[in-house]
């Protein structure tokens, strides 16, 4: 089995993995980072979005071995102890989550949007979320939360 080494949430990790192991399974099963979820098998739901080298990526579309040397941030790597990232805080404040299952992917994806577009319009937010499914919220409060977080992050 090949060995793969990467930085995950600022920590160096390495393991022997089967070549077919997906990044999401490596994160969940080898590293115990179960905040990244699997909601489909066709790379559409977006529950597994993580940050790889500064871009949001569906971790079910990457093999773990493709991430050799990469810097990966998962939902567990955002908050500083009890202090939430502004995007997490905006989701909490705006009731942008219900069952919580899609939430990690939503938050990771939203952070990438705001990095690329500091003041996204409602339409831009809705279109950006094309790859993230939520069955609980009707997206209403997610859109509100992302707009609010963008404002906070602009300062």
Partner 1 sequence: MAASGIGVSVRRVEDFRFLTGRGNYTDDINRPNQLHAHILRSPHAHAKIKKIDASKALKGPGVAAVFTGADIEKDQIGGLPCGWLVTDRNGQPMVEPPHPVLVADRTRHVGDQVAVVIAETRAQARDAAELVKIDYDEQVATVGLADATKKGAPLVWDQAPGNICYDWALGDSAVVDAAFKTAAKVAKVDIVNNRLIPNAMEPRAAIGDYDLAKGNYNLYTTSQNPHVIRLLMSAYVLKVSEHKVRVYSPDVGGGFGSKIYHYAEEAIVCWASRKLGRPVKWTADRSESFMSDAHGRDHLTKAEIALDAGGKFLAMRVVTVANMGAYLSTFAPCIPTYLYALLLAGTYTTPAIFCEVKAIFTHTVPVDAYRGAGRPEATYVVERLVDEAARVTGLDVAEIRRRNFIPRDAFPYQTPVVVQYDSGDYQSTLEIALKTADYSGFAARRAESAKRGKLRGLGLSTYIEACGIAPSAVVGSVGARAGLYESGLVRVHPTGSVTILTGSHSHGQGHETTFAQLAAERLGVDFDKIEVVHGDTDKIPFGMGTYGSRSLAVGGSALVKAMDKIIAKGKKIAAHLLEAAEADIEFKDGTFSIAGTDKKKTLAEISGAAYVPHNYPINELEPGLEEQAFYDPTNFTFPGGCHVAEIEIDRDTGVVQLVSFVAVDDVGRVINPMIVEGQVHGGVAQGMGQALLEGCVYDQKTGQLVTGSYMDYTMPRASDLPTLKVSTHNTLCTHNPLGVKGVGEVGAIGSPAAIMNAVHNAVAPFGVTHVEMPATPERVWRALQSAPKAAE
Residues of this chain that bind partner 1 (CB under 8 A): 18, 20, 28-29, 33-42, 44-45, 47, 74-76, 78-79, 82, 84, 88, 91-93, 95, 97-104, 107, 122-123, 125-127, 129-130, 132-143
Q: For residue 45, give Cα distances in angstroms to 4, 40, 146.
A: 27, 6, 18
Are 38 and 24 contacting, i.e. CB atoms less than 8 angstroms apart?
yes
- Name which of 83, 76, 20, 80 is nearest 51 in CA terms: 76
Shortest reach from residue 80's CB to partner 1, in Å = 11
- Of 7 and 84, which CB lies nearer to partner 1 in the complex structure? 84
Shortest reach from residue 110's CB to partner 1, in Å = 11
Shortest reach from residue 41's CB to partner 1, in Å = 5
Distance, in Å, from the CA atom of 22 to the CA atom of 136, rounded to the nearest integer, reads 27
Distance, in Å, from the CA atom of 27 to the CA atom of 151, rounded to the nearest integer, reads 31
- Of 69 and 125, which CB lies nearer to partner 1 in the complex structure? 125
- Of 32 and 69, which CB lies nearer to partner 1 in the complex structure? 32
Distance, in Å, from the CA atom of 118 to the CA atom of 12, rounded to the nearest integer, reads 31
Shortest reach from residue 147's CB to partner 1, in Å = 11
- Name which of 7, 8, 21, 130 is nearest 65 in CA terms: 21
Distance, in Å, from the CA atom of 3 to the CA atom of 15, rounded to the nearest integer, reads 5
Shortest reach from residue 138's CB to partner 1, in Å = 3
- Of 41 and 69, which CB lies nearer to partner 1 in the complex structure? 41
- Of 69 and 86, which CB lies nearer to partner 1 in the complex structure? 86
């Amino acid at each position: 089995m090949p060995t793969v080494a990467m930085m995950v949430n600022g920590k160096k990790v390495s393991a022997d993995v089967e070549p077919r192991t997906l990044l999401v399974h490596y994160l969940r099963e080898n590293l115990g980072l179960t905040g990244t979820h699997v909601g489909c098998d066709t790379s559409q739901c977006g529950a597994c979005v993580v940050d790889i080298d500064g871009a949001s990526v569906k971790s079910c579309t990457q093999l773990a071995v493709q991430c050799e040397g990469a810097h990966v941030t998962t939902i567990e790597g955002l908050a500083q102890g009890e202090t939430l990232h502004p995007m997490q805080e905006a989701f909490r404040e705006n009731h942008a989550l219900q069952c919580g299952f899609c939430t990690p992917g939503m938050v990771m994806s939203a952070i990438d949007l705001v990095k690329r577009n500091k003041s996204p319009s409602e339409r831009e937010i809705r279109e950006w979320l094309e790859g993230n499914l939520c069955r609980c919220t009707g997206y209403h409060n997610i859109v509100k939360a992302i707009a609010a977080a963008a404002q906070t992050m602009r300062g």
